[in-house]
Structure 1
Amino acid sequence: MRRVWRRGDEVFAEVALPEEVADAADAFGLHPALLDAALHAMSIASAEEGSGTPVPFAWSGVSLHAVGARALRVRIAPDGRGGVTVDLFDEAGLPVASVESLVLREVSPEQLAVREDADSLFGVEWVSAVGGGSVEADSWAVLGAGGGLLAEGGRVFADVDALVASADELPGVVVLECGPVEGGSVPDVVRGQLAG
């Protein structure tokens, strides 16, 4: 966020993507980090008033007018029905996106506080899908070269079409082998394989 200011009930802001992610703007209709930064203007305005933090609750009338924006000028104003309108423009003043009504709900600092005695509802648990796991060897297949997974008994297919054409019954688990990580992170390689 570069700037934020108020004029009566209206909130205005200027936001921009950091240089290191600006090139990714073309991959989205509206980059999520840019939209998030635009909506932070509401939090800053409410913090000045000493109230709770407003969070988006219900959206209606959302329109995308242009894609690939790297910076936005933001106008947030009351919609007259208990919500706000959000208008997003590029640096030339052309419309990028608009929201006819965004209903907000305030969250207090107490609601956001982490309770040390509370058990988390979420956790990470790895379940083996091959080898000594609970999946039978003939109930899974590998898409791609196979590599080390062949030793575990899976069937190998060049792609999804080959799997569907040759299988009487589709396996319960399909493993897509991603190539070696060279010049990128594991998530980047996986995204590239899935998008390709």
Structure 2
Amino acid sequence: MKKMVITFFCLLPLLLYGQEPLKPLGNRWIVKTNALSLIAKKPTISLERTFDNSFSLEASYTQGKFKNILFTDQYEYNGFLLRGKKYFANLDHEIIIPYAGIYVGNLHRSIQTSGESLDRVGFFGYPSRQFAGHSIRGGGSFGLSYFTTSRINVDVQTSLGYGRYLNLDWSDPNTYSGGYPDMQVWASIGYCF
């Protein structure tokens, strides 16, 4: 009986610590990565800071590389992104919180394609391209965020905006674009501390 009482008093602090109330989510740092970057074969890293219970600022480095996708032999990109988010509800644990935001950033894109005719006559096909360009981009975002009690953050969002090229590799005559629609889909997982 004496051993059981000593064991109980030794384990009591652990039991009481496990019942400690959760701290509010305001003024936290969140480190996360876009899980969809696994498709692009290069990681994306983000650092987000919540300033109060309804606003945050996120800085991200995005990169990716695709081969043989949508009539393109190789597509590579990398850039930085700064996103401000306004949450429609106070940040709390174990509820889905919708948010809207705006973003600005830069992007370097490189596209290489060997042209090909899709029929024997030559009416249907696509040209060869050797393209590289630096751009600035901006737009709006909408997403949902979820915080677990174990400090894990799951964040899904979609963004739509426009990118404008600052300089292009004009050595390719098939490069006529001055801008592009910028669409992003994120499924991020992270840890807040």
Higher share of residues assigned helix: 1
The answer to whether the superposition gives a TM-score over 0.5 is: no
State the TM-score, normalized to the length of structure 1.
0.22
Higher share of residues assigned strand: 2
Relative contact order: is structure 1 or structure 2 higher (C-alpha 8 Å, sep ≥ 6)?
A: 2
